[in-house]
Amino acid sequence: MASATPLKTPLYDWHRTHGGRIVDFAGWAMPVQYTSIVEEHQAVRNRVGLFDISHMGRLAFEGPGALSWINRVCTNDAKKLSPRQIQYSLLANDLGGLIDDVLVYFTGKTYDLVCNASNREAVIRQFEEHLAGSKAKLIDRTFETAMIAVQGPSAQATLQAIYDQPLDALRYYHFGEGKLAGDVPAIVSRTGYTGEVGFELIVDADQAVKVWEALLKSGESYGILPCGLGARDTLRLEAGMPLYGHELSDSINPYASGVGWAVKLDKGDFVGSDALSQHQASPGATRIGLRLQGKRIARQGAAVSIGGRVVGSVTSGAFSPTLGASIAVALVDPGAAVVGTEAIIDVRGKEEPAVIVELPFYKRPKPAGAQA
Q: What is the binding site for another protein (CB under 8 A)?
A: 21, 32-33, 35-38, 230, 234, 294-297, 299, 318-319, 321, 326, 348
Cα Rg, the chain, nearest whole Å:
21
Cα separations in angstroms, 184 against 180, 203, 209: 5, 7, 11
CB nearer to another protein: give 226 or 272.
226
The nearer residue to another protein, 141 or 299, going by C-beta atoms, is 299
With both helix axes pointing from N to C terminus, report the angle between 229-238 and 37-46 in degrees, rounded to the nearest 10.
Answer: 50
CB of 352 to another protein, least distance (A): 11
Shortest Cβ distance from residue 40 to another protein (Å)?
A: 10
Closer to another protein by Cβ: residue 170 or 327: 327
To another protein, the closest distance from the beta carbon of 324 in angstroms equals 11
Kindly state the smallest distance separating residue 25's Cβ from another protein, in Å.
Answer: 13
| Dihedral angle, C-alpha 28, 92, 318, 45, nearest 10 ° | 80
> What is the residue type of 296?
R
Nearer to another protein by C-beta: 32 or 359? 32
Nearest-approach distance from CB 41 to another protein, in angstroms: 9
Q: What is the number of residues in the chain?
A: 372
215 CB-contact burial (10 Å; exposed 0-12 / middle 13-18 / buried 19+)? buried
Residue closer to another protein (CB basis): 185 or 301: 301
In 10 A of CB 351, how many CB atoms?
Answer: 11
Instruction: Give the C-alpha separation, 273 to 211, whole Å.
Output: 42
Quick one: 43 or 99, whose CB is closer to another protein? 43
Distance, in Å, from the CA atom of 194 to the CA atom of 14, rounded to the nearest integer, reads 23
CB of 347 to another protein, least distance (A): 9
